[in-house]
Structure 1
Amino acid sequence: MSHVSETALEQINRRAIPVHATESFWTAQDGHKIRRIDWPGLETGGTPRGSILFFPGRGDNYEKYLETLEEWHRAGWRVTAADWRGQAGSGRLGNDAVTGHVDDLATWIDDLQSFWTDWKAATPRPHILSAHSMGGHLVLRGIAERKVDPDAMVLSAPMLGFVGSIPSAIGHLAAKLMCAIGDPKRPAWKWNEKPGVVPAGRQALLTGDDDRYEDEQWWRNERPELVMGPGSWGWVERSYASMRCLFAPGLLESVDTSVLLLGTSNDKLVSMRAIEEAAERLPAGELVRFGEEAQHEILRDTDAVRERAKTAIDEFLDRVALQK
């Protein structure tokens, strides 16, 4: 007879740090401190199934993904998540507290490489690298540039292109112009004049689940340092440049690692067509395609959407664990 642990049956509180998780800081090579959160692995002893490292998207924080991270922990994985430099509780790189800026996405790739090296040395195999949106772009670029070497990757709505009819070359040129005529650190779009107040209609871009959307605002009230609004023109320009480089001939084809991509044709932020192209070009790429039922934040959407995503991810991870 199989036995299910009491912890596995407990409902997950999305508005609390799980009791088994520990928050701390990792120090980058230049001394910049970056937040992290770690789950140790199996609570009942024994060897974890492996280790998962997760990164959120632009303007994001790991608090938004506690439900998914805790589920992985309960499934027997050693789990870690971390901020990107200049986001959430890991400082700022722009002129104010709410505009997301970075000098170049290579700065984040360098942090990823260093963090990965330290994390991999301290955790059991197989090593899984997972990320959402901008995070998905960065980790895919990281493996394409041989900066990280995971056993497998899980990418939720990776930012591989922006939604819109404007060709990337034209969009990139426009962003370069905006950086040339003004401060690249200035916000690229309007947010709200009231600090901490999110614009109306934002939920429709992210999730169809009211409660999970409200979780984010709860955490912003509880931890004001998590609040972040628009990206800078510098971020927009550097993102265009990075995405165009990632799709250079032969680069994605050089990645032989198994990569599971989740995307929705209803995404109003990142390009589903770009995700489809990446899945086609990656030698071991697999795509789980959602439609009108899902928004950008697939891992924070309705129960039905999440259940399908969870099942696909679990089956993928089961195969990876068996192979390793």
Structure 2
Amino acid sequence: MSNTAMNRRAIPAEAVESIWHAADQWAIRRIDWQGANPPRGSLLFLPGRGDHYEKYLETLAYYADAGWRVTAIDWRGQGESGRLLADPHVGHIDDFATWIADLRHFWNAWKQEKPGLHVVMAHSMGGQLAMRALVEKAIDPDAVVLSAPMLGIQTGGLPLALNHAFAKLMVKIGKGNDAAWKISEKPMSPMEMRGKMLTHDDARYEDEIAWWKLRPNVKLGPPSWHWIERAIASIRMLEAPGLLEAVKTPILLLATTGDQLVSTPRVIADSKRLPHAEILIFGKEAAHELLREADPVRDQCLARIDSFLEANAPRP
């Protein structure tokens, strides 16, 4: 557990929020802070689709208390890093390569300003982007932790290629900028079911809703059809033989068979392709947001991450 008494619905006094500008001058929101301990290294947290860094303050505080210089960003088009469509509640991107380019640019600047070991921690879509960035050598961290990474998505039992073909069709007929469904995190799922899809901890789930009221600009709804098509394209790209096999970075993957959003079988399969991967799999006791789960699951995640970082990004 964190050493600091944590108010998950307030920015810590020692944290600094600021704006960083991407190569094209797009404003990207970031948060940085360091605990009282002497720094043991620098940790960059990459959130998931529709996320904003406020959701992860508790976890960021845990690592700041452990002596890491902690940074998190909002992806372009999410949180308070602007929006890409006229409808601010539709999640969108022209191509996942845009996010990789942003990350490459940010990583180079961040490494210069933050000395010592460099670790990446990423959730869901952030995990897909982190893996692509490793493959494309956009980042070169000492160690990586992926929470429920979007290496595959739930397809309702249908082949991924069929889902991709349908998304391409929707884009082709002019629906690319439309929301792919109405509410929540997946089609046909009512909003009242959203919490259980993400975490078994009601209070942690309510933190996100509270932030939507405190900072309405951070709220984002379902993705566009174009986002769906580009997401599947990015997932399929990593299927190419030799790509994951060439990633030498130590990686810890956390996943759950109770995940209704990402494909845990794909996470397990991909972990076997990575030369230096460890994996921790939960069952029905855990939903998608492992770092925002009830304490019995979250504490196991933190303990496993701590031992992984001690082994692969040891204290100086």
After superposition, the C-alpha distances for 1:89-133 in whole angstroms (9 at most, x for unaligned) are: 010012311000111000000000000000011112210011100
Name which of 261, 278, 289 aligns with 1:286. 278
Q: CA deviation at 1:204?
A: 1.4
Name which of 302, 309, 320 aligns with 2:294. 302
Contact 2:147 2:255 in 1 (8 A): yes
Q: For the residues of structure 2 that align with 1:8 and 1:131, how far apart are their CA atoms?
A: 19
Name which of 127, 133, 136 aligns with 2:124. 133
Q: For the residues of structure 2 that align with 1:317 and 1:55, how far apart are their CA atoms?
A: 17
Q: CA deviation at 1:219?
A: 0.4
Q: What's 2:178 paired with?
A: 186
Contact 2:4 2:61 in 1 (8 A): no
Q: CA deviation at 1:267?
A: 0.1
Q: What's 2:187 paired with?
A: none
Q: For the residues of structure 2 that align with 1:321 and 1:177, how far apart are their CA atoms?
A: 45
Residue aligned with 2:175, SS: coil
Residue aligned with 1:201, SS: helix
Residue range with higher mean Cα deviation, 90-99 or 8-17: 8-17
After superposition, the C-alpha distances for 1:152-209 in whole angstroms (9 at most, x for unaligned) are: 10000000111131111111111101111123110001118xxxxx822111110000
Contact 1:157 1:264 in 2 (8 A): yes
Q: What's 1:104 paired with?
A: 95
| Residue 204 of structure 1 pairs with residue 196 of structure 2 | yes
Name which of 260, 263, 279 aligns with 2:255. 263
Q: CA deviation at 1:37?
A: 0.2
Q: What's 2:244 paired with?
A: 252
Q: CA deviation at 1:321?
A: 2.6
Contact 1:57 1:133 in 2 (8 A): yes
Aligned positions of 1:82-231 closer than 5 A: 82-163=73-154, 164-191=156-183, 199-231=191-223
Q: Compared with structure 1, are the counterparts of its residues 190 and 12 closer, same or farther at alpha carbon in structure 2 (3 Å cutoff)?
A: same
Q: For the residues of structure 2 that align with 1:295 and 1:312, how far apart are their CA atoms?
A: 17
Q: CA deviation at 1:19?
A: 1.2
**CA root-mean-square deviation:** 1.5
Q: What's 1:32 paired with?
A: 26
The one-letter code of the counterpart of 1:226 is V
Q: CA deviation at 1:323?
A: 8.2
Q: What's 1:4 paired with?
A: none
The one-letter code of the counterpart of 1:21 is A
Q: Between the two proteins, what is the percent identity of the paired residues? A: 53
TM-score normalized with structure 2 length = 0.95
Q: CA deviation at 1:10?
A: 3.4
Q: For the residues of structure 1 that align with 2:94 and 2:49, how far apart are their CA atoms?
A: 14
Contact 2:30 2:73 in 1 (8 A): yes
The one-letter code of the counterpart of 1:29 is A
The one-letter code of the counterpart of 1:30 is D
Q: What's 1:3 paired with?
A: none
Q: For the residues of structure 2 that align with 1:102 and 1:42, how far apart are their CA atoms?
A: 34
The one-letter code of the counterpart of 2:120 is L
The one-letter code of the counterpart of 1:66 is L
Q: CA deviation at 1:8?
A: 5.9
Q: For the residues of structure 1 that align with 2:83 and 2:269, how far apart are their CA atoms?
A: 33
